[in-house]
Structure 1
Amino acid sequence: MRALGTILMTDIVDSTATLERLGDAKWHAALLEHNERLRAQIDRFGGREVRTTGDGFQVLFTGAARGVRCAAAMIDALADLEIRIRTGLHTGEVELTAGNLYGIAVHAAARVSALAGLSEVLVSAVTRDLLDGSGLAFEERGVYELKGLSGPRSVFALIRESAR
């Protein structure tokens, strides 16, 4: 069954370089702490963890504002760790089957996330448009051809102060 959802993708920035700098034992401890802190924010904002990718999460929300606020809170929750993340969100129809998310919207969220910088929350134009009246503010980051997706797509960065 297809349903409208907001997909949040996270990714650890420079994970291999961080692993090399920290060493195996410290990296493993930091990664476990990262996972625990991100899961706490997923629960806090009512998201559904769909899967982990080793150095990131795929999370489904039924509301765009909760997804964006969760992404900002995740970044804040890692402030004292040696791990930093990038986040991206897109809203579209998805299919949740056997615990996995399917649909072009999932790929769009991954492409938006890949454009994000260190500790940045990027959203697609679709997600941004759904957030009118939410109190969240964004600035345009540009128009991109997202790999595998047709046509140019605008991407917006959350102005972090608006998420507090």
Structure 2
Amino acid sequence: MVKTTGDGILATFDGPGRAIRCALAFESAATQIGLPLRAGLHTGEVEIRDGDIGGVAVHAAARVMALSRPGEVLVSRVVTDLVAGAGLKFSDRGSHELKGLPGRWDLFAASL
């Protein structure tokens, strides 16, 4: 865990598959207590800044999270490509413009 962001968390993982499985586990646990949770995941290079992180990858993850629905773990195409064959499932959520980022981004809802 890097830091809390009000009612959220910013965390890094040593692989996108672990990040997805963690987010899905959190979502499942939160559902059991009636707390809607949403997550957004992207992978890329980050800049380490005095115990914090930043950069385009962090910005992209925040934008992906902002588009996720309650109870959803939303991921970028980059993430789906890196976990191919890992036993995870993805439902297409369309192509979106992400504020402050170039082009359109294909997003997917993750599940087991």
Q: Normalising by structure 2, report the TM-score.
A: 0.95
Name 2:80's counterpart in structure 1. 128
Q: Distance in 1 between matches of 2:31 and 2:62?
A: 23
Q: Normalising by structure 1, report the TM-score.
A: 0.66
Q: Distance in 2 between matches of 1:135 and 1:100?
A: 32
- Residue 157 (structure 1) aligned with residue 112 (structure 2): no
Name 2:2's counterpart in structure 1. 50
Count matched residues.
112
Bigger Rg over Cα: 1
- Residue 104 (structure 1) aligned with residue 56 (structure 2): yes
Q: Distance in 1 between matches of 2:8 and 2:68?
A: 13
Runs of 4+ in structure 1 deviating by more than 3 angstroms, as ranges, are none
Name 1:60's counterpart in structure 2. 12
- Displacement of 1:76 in angstroms is 1.1
Q: Quick check: 2:97–2:103 contact (8 Å CA) kept in 1?
A: yes
In structure 1, give the amino acid aligned to 2:60: A
Q: Distance in 2 between matches of 1:51 and 1:110?
A: 13
In structure 2, give the amino acid aligned to 1:69: R
Q: Distance in 2 between matches of 1:75 and 1:146?
A: 23
Answer 1 or 2: which has greater helix percent. Answer: 1
Deviations 1:64-103 (A, max 9, x none): 0000000000011112324211101000000222111111
Q: Distance in 1 between matches of 2:83 and 2:34?
A: 32
What secondary structure is seen at the aligned counterpart in 1 of 2:43?
strand
In structure 2, give the amino acid aligned to 1:147: K
Q: How does 1:132-151 map to 2 (within 5 A)?
A: 132-151=84-103
- Displacement of 1:155 in angstroms is 0.3
Q: How does 1:64-103 map to 2 (within 5 A)?
A: 64-103=16-55
Q: Percent same amino acid among aligned pairs?
A: 51
- Displacement of 1:62 in angstroms is 1.3
